[in-house]
Structure 1
Amino acid sequence: MPEPGGHPRRPRRALVALCTAAVSVTGGLTLITQSHADPEPTLAEVREQVDDLYHRAEQATERYNAATDELTEVQRRIERAQASVARQQAAVDAVRAQIGAFAAASYRSGGTVDPTVQTLLAESPEDFLAQASVMNAFAGQQADSLAAAAEVSRSFEQARMVADEELIRQQAIETTLDAEKANVEKLLDEAQAILDQLEAEEQAQLEEDREESSEAPDRGEDEEEDDGGETAPDVPVSGRAGVAVEFALAQVGDPYVWGGNGPDGWDCSGLTKAAWAEAGVSLSRSSSAQINDGARVSKSQLQPGDLVFYYSPISHVGIYIGDGKIVHATHPGDVVSVDDVDLMPFAGASRPG
């Protein structure tokens, strides 16, 4: 007879035999269990996992930065739209006052107040605007004022509609920002959890391996290195590009901080934006937008100060400093450093200014 759940009953003698066998080979069962356990990941595999999480976090960071750019623009449009609403409201009030004066004059002269005028004098601006279509009925009386009132009411309603639409866009962008922020923090927490499982020696080896792999392929053994990566090349650069390069190099060793705008921590586009702002040039906040902030240049045309972009879609940017090197805010868990221009997949370059 089947057991509850539909499974056939195992004969008692078979159960006893299995239990006896289990007791007699406990050690063997333990070995078998261990032999089928997932093997510990190698340091190379750990590094691959962590680097993938860091890269995904940086992609989310740049999406966050792009949304902040969009939010800033929407807020500017909201300010303009609200100013337009205020101007149109003042115009509506002026027209209402003019028509009210006409109605009062009619009443004092013994006449009656036209129902249309009563509508236009409604206490609520909404009631006034809702009745704009009846203004044509008042065509024989103060025609010019009524035509102006109709136009003012339409302008006011349009301005208010634009302002409302921009406020809805703002709310949607803020929702996106919250989602990307949560995504970045989740990815960074996952990466840190993996690193926390390593012994101190393993963490040190992992960092050493990462530093070695970031070195330029043609770098000589006698070339010195500081805590921020490779030594900056001594390439003469002047003008605004020189100011941007000098500023960026002064941040070498500062930590990568997602969403960082300085002065003590940076993400990749935050560093490039601040460097060129020091030179008097305004850049967008995200790397994907910054590539359109200057003239496009090929890799063979790179000059110090040019912005170099990486990955597809673009999610990283550095500043070319000459001699095949860039300075950039590397990735979460690292610092601003000087590295080879070919460290990452090249996606394009542009020249601000």
Structure 2
Amino acid sequence: MKLNSAVAAALLAPGNVVALLRFPCAQLVIDRIDPLVNPGQAPSPHLHQIVGGNSLNVTMDPAKDMPGESTCTSCQFSEDFSNYWTATLYFKAKNGTYKRVPQLPNSGFNGVNGGMTVYYMQDGLYNFQQTSKVTAFKPGFRMYIGDVNARTKEQAERYRQLTFTCLQTINTRDPQTLDFPDKPCPAGIMTAVRFPTCWDGKNLDSPNHMDHMAYPEFGTFESGGPCPASHPVRVPQLFYEVIWDTRQFNNPADWPDDGSQPFVWSFGDGTGYANHGDYLFGWQGDALQRAMDSPCYQNCPTLKSQNAAAMNKCTIKPKVNEDIDSWVKTLPGGHVANYVKKRWE
């Protein structure tokens, strides 16, 4: 999200310890693997778009040294060898075939090859004070947020702030919805994935990759609510923005005749309620903690950066060889669109 100059000046005023990192990550790979939820499985059940360090593999043993094994990262900060990923988005045509929706770089990041924008913050994005003390994630840490099986608003509401924005321009940020936009979006669709900010302080992971994390006791991240006693350690607010270039699919004549929307996640969800994201921590040394303890506003003098060409150059070959660019009759893995609110075939 783009903050105006007055807000930026307030953030950087003397006395504020501001830590708000906003940076691009180019596409590392689009592949049907999921080393967090389905380790060792190739192909995994559905297709993902993945960014970050090139040590990514099918298994991702948490005992391994991700920064030490990576030789490059597709993210701006060259000390960040973490991996970040979401499902991919598809368009379903009236004849029942599917086409993968490409990704666009975010506002201010021209020249970056698709991917996503990643945020690390002391506080939520709309809290311009950014003064909370946070503890950086530890080596081996990993987490997941969302529910791949959610198909109703009530199911989606269990997870705070996993949203969609119908972009009027590249800088549009509101309104945000829990389900897919129901009309063509002039500048694309942005998905937002915000992770919980309270850690139990003990476990680097949990069986469902979520129970070691919790939300504040009340409100959203911007409210500054306290962490629950079960999860007392406040960690950075991790937040993804992914911009899907839906402009080529905006002809109303290509949309369903019954008024429903035609986009579907790669695992078949046509409601949007199953929006989710995965994270494997891989920052080098104490780089992330240094950044969170420093007056960093988007760029950070304590971190090493690389340009778009270097980010774009860091790619790996897919582990699963399948066609992800043509029109296809079924989604990768054999999934078909599942629309609960309004069905169309």
TM-score in terms of structure 1 length: 0.21
| Greater radius of gyration (CA) | 1
Q: Which of the pair is proportionally richer in helix?
A: 1
**Structure with larger RCO (C-alpha < 8 A, sep 6+):** 2
TM-score (normalised: structure 2): 0.22
Instruction: Give the number of the structure whose residues are more often strand, by fraction.
Output: 2
